[in-house]
Amino acid sequence: MFKRISLILLIIAPIATCKAQISRLGTDVEYAGEIHATISDDQAPFWLVHNKYGLSSIEDDFGYVRGSIRRSLNTDSLRRWAVGYGIDLVVPHHFTSDFVLQQLYVESQYKSFRLTVGAKELPMEFSNPELSTGDMTMSINARPIPQLRLEMPDYWDIPGTGGWIGVKAHAAFGWFTDSKWLKSFTGNVPSHRYTSNARYHSKSLYFRIGNEKKLPLIFEGGLRIDCQFGGDAWNLNQRKDDTTFVDLSHVNLNNGLKTYWNALTFGGTDPNDGDFKNTEGNHVGSWHGSLNYQGKGWSVRGYLEHQFDDHSQLFWQYGWKDMKWGIEAQLPKNPFVSTMLIELISTKDQTSAVYHDATEAVPIQISGRDNYYSHQVYGAWQHWGMTMGNPLLISPLYNENHQITPYHNRITATHLGIAGDPCPALHYRVLYTHMRSWGTYGDPLIDTRYNDFMLAEMTVKPHRLKGWSFTGAFGMNRGDLLKKSTGGSLSIRKEGVFNGKSKNVKMQ
How do the domains of the chain map onto residue ranges? Answer: 113-483
Helix (H) or strand (E) holding 411: strand 411-423
Is the pLDDT at 38 greater than 70, yes or no? yes
Angle (CA) 116-120-125 rounded to 5° is 85
* Model confidence band, residue 258 (pLDDT cutoffs 50, 70, 90): confident
Is the pLDDT at 275 greater than 70, yes or no? no
Query: CA 63, CA 93: separation in Å to the nearest integer?
Result: 5
Residue 82, strand partner residues: 109
The percentage of the chain sitting over the pLDDT mark of 70, rounded to a whole number, equals 86
pTM here?
0.90
pLDDT of residue 16: 47
Which range is least confidently modeled, 137-151, 317-331, 419-433, 470-484?
317-331
pLDDT of residue 11: 55
The percentage of the chain sitting over the pLDDT mark of 90, rounded to a whole number, equals 70
Is the pLDDT at 358 greater than 60, yes or no? no
Is the pLDDT at 5 greater than 90, yes or no? no
* Model confidence band, residue 508 (pLDDT cutoffs 50, 70, 90): very low
* Model confidence band, residue 117 (pLDDT cutoffs 50, 70, 90): very high
Query: CA 126, CA 290: separation in Å to the nearest integer?
Result: 8
Is the pLDDT at 463 greater than 90, yes or no? yes
User: DSSP class of residue 18?
Assistant: H
Angle (CA) 199-128-289 rounded to 5° is 75
* Mean pLDDT (whole number) for 363-380: 80
User: Considering only CA atoms, which of 44, 58, 225 is closest in space to residue 135?
Assistant: 225
In this structure, are residues 154 and 184 in contact, taking their beta carbons and an 8 Å threshold? no
Is the pLDDT at 503 greater than 60, yes or no? no
Is the pLDDT at 433 greater than 90, yes or no? yes
Is the pLDDT at 246 greater than 80, yes or no? no
